[in-house]
């Protein structure tokens, strides 16, 4: 059974700061990793996919993957109040079972 | 507009009354799946389908049925709903593969089901 762990938070950061969200997983077979943002009562929205070790940047977002340590993270630079949401880490091994972490609630304080 | 459409958005029903939640995608995706989301438990996969006529159980399939007769549609059927199936349900689709790995899921807007 694959497991994905995240700190449930809430993680509070001041506006303009860097928010750092972390995720660890148990299954070494996992190949593809995703970060989603979910506002309360809404559907998850994809922020970024990452497939290989290292960093991947997209605007204010940077995802980092370390398969040896079974660790994936998301950095949000210049955090805005609109970034306040729950962030879900997800992974899949062969594109059949997608497993989600419980999510980290981020609060960006004006 | 590329999207996954679920209906209804809200549904209140009684124990034992069969219901169907529809899901349709217009992106020609091979892969479709259903999830339920409960406080403290996160998103849990109910069933998935790799293509037409191919379905398989996820982590929490008990009490649910699905069918994939057409590529675009993947309905979720609760033949005898019970109160423990009260939850927020999401349908999702994916084109399966992407350069370097597997494509992410695209989610519908969700169906909030209450079973009394």
Could you tell me which chain B residue has the CA closest to the CA of A49? B104
Strand bridging mode A4-6 / A54-58: unpaired
Contact A98 B109 (CB under 8 A): no
Sign, CA dihedral B13-B39-A34-A84, equals positive
Among B43, B59, B104, the residue with its CB nearest the CB of A46 is B104
What does pLDDT average to in each consecutive run of 10 residues of chain B (116 residues)?
A: 94 97 96 94 93 93 97 97 97 83 92 98
Which residue's entry shows tokens 């998935």? Answer: B48
Could you tell me which chain B residue has the CA closest to the CA of A52? B100
pLDDT by residue for chain A (110 residues), tens digit each? 668 999 888 999 999 999 999 999 998 777 899 999 999 999 999 999 999 999 999 999 999 999 999 999 999 999 999 999 999 999 998 888 899 999 999 999 99
- Peptide bond connecting A96 to the previous residue in cis, omega within 30 degrees of 0: no
Note whether B95 contacts A: Cβ–Cβ < 8 A.
no
Taking CA atoms, B95 is separated from B101, B104, B109, in Å, by 11, 8, 19
In DSSP notation, B17-49 reads --EEEEEEESS--SEEEEEEEETTTEEEEEEEE
């Amino acid at each position: 059974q694959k497991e994905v762990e995240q700190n449930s938070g809430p993680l509070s950061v001041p506006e303009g700061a860097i928010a750092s969200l972390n995720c660890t997983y148990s299954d070494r077979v996992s190949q593809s990793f995703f970060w989603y943002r979910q506002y309360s009562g809404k559907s998850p929205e994809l922020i970024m996919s990452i497939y290989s070790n290292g960093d991947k940047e997209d605007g204010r977002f940077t995802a980092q993957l370390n398969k040896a340590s079974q660790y994936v993270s998301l950095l949000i630079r210049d955090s805005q109040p609109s970034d306040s949401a729950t962030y879900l880490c997800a992974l899949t091994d062969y594109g059949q079972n997608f497993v989600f972490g419980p999510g980290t609630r981020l609060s960006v304080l004006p | 507009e590329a999207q996954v459409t679920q209906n209804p958005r809200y549904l209140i029903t009684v124990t034992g009354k069969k219901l169907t939640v529809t899901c349709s995608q217009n992106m020609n995706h091979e892969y479709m799946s259903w999830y339920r989301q409960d406080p403290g438990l996160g998103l849990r996969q109910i069933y998935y389908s790799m293509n037409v006529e191919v379905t398989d159980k996820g982590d929490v399939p008990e009490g649910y049925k699905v069918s994939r007769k057409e590529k675009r549609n993947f309905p979720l059927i609760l033949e005898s709903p019970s109160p423990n199936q009260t939850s927020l349900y999401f349908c999702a689709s994916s084109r399966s593969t992407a350069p370097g790995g597997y494509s992410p899921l695209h989610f519908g807007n969700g169906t909030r089901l209450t079973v009394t």
